[in-house]
């Protein structure tokens, strides 16, 4: 474990005030801030860093346990840097709290998806392990997330995620500056639906491979903000409510 402040996350082990094993990871720095500073029952002890927009906070729960809430940035390359450095300073449980688009017809806006494993189409992941290396979440952490979601009364789905590098082309979006999709992406959403894949997002596949290679427990819970069978539109009106539900589930586990 490195006692120095690491270059990208901007903090080190000496900033954690003792034994902290877990981190909640958000792509959006504002989501990380809201969870750290506005969640009932969670005390933000201090801002650890606001380096490069990768905001991080040291927080304490009512039971006295501590955790880190960090920003990963958008996409797998940024996440891979943050996760590498979090592991260097000793964190051994990392749960991504993100947003996603539903692929399966039963996955509705406002519900949650807890990922067991990911179909991983991510270049960053291929630098960590071979393309055919499994991208699977930690089984115990995943069961705990599902149990917490059920106990808290949230509508959730447990299954497979398509984790891809791009928001537009890679998720077969037509509302893009590039209307000319490569042939391999034309019809891919329906293909994934037939393969019983629940949702699209952009980080979990790399996180899961890192967990297996680096030997930490990785999990992912995402709030559903669009139903790709009906529309490409993100339903922003339900965004904060769904994100708060995902955060509650992750915090119940950490």
Q: Which residues are catalytic?
A: 8, 85, 173, 228
Q: Which residues pair with 162 in a beta bridge?
A: 119, 200
Q: Residues 119, 42: contact at Cβ < 8 Å?
A: no
Q: E-assigned strands of the chain?
A: 22-26, 42-49, 56-61, 66-71, 93-102, 112-121, 156-164, 197-201, 217-227
DSSP state of 147: H
DSSP 183-252: GGGTTHHHHHHHTTEEEEESSHHHHHHHHHHHT-EEEEEEEEEEETTT-S---GGGHHHHHHHHHHHHHH
Provide the 3-class DSSP secondary structure of residue 56: strand
Alpha-carbon gap, residue 247 to 235, rounded angstroms: 18
């Amino acid at each position: 474990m490195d006692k120095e402040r690491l270059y990208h996350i901007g903090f080190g082990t000496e900033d954690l005030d003792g034994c902290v094993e877990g981190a909640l990871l958000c792509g959006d720095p504002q989501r990380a801030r809201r969870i750290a500073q506005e969640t009932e029952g969670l005390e933000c002890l201090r801002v650890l860093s606001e380096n490069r927009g990768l905001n991080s906070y040291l927080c304490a729960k009512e039971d006295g346990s501590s955790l880190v809430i960090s920003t990963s940035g958008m996409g797998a390359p940024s996440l891979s840097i943050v996760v590498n450095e979090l592991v260097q300073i000793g964190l051994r449980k990392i749960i991504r709290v993100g947003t996603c688009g539903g692929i399966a017809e039963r996955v509705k806006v406002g519900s949650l998806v807890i990922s067991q494993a990911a179909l991983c189409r991510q270049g960053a992941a291929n630098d960590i392990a071979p393309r055919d290396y499994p991208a699977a979440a930690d089984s115990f952490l995943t069961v705990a997330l599902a149990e917490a979601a059920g106990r808290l009364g949230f509508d959730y789905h447990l299954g497979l995620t398509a984790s891809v590098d791009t928001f537009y082309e890679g998720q077969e979006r037509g509302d893009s500056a590039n209307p000319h999709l490569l042939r391999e992406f034309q019809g891919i959403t329906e293909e994934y639906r037939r393969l019983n894949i629940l949702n699209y997002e952009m980080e979990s596949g790399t996180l899961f491979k890192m967990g297996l290679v680096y030997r930490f427990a990785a999990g992912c819970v995402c709030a559903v903000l669009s139903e790709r069978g009906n529309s490409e539109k993100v339903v922003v009106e339900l965004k904060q409510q769904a994100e708060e539900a995902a955060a509650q589930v992750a915090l119940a586990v950490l």
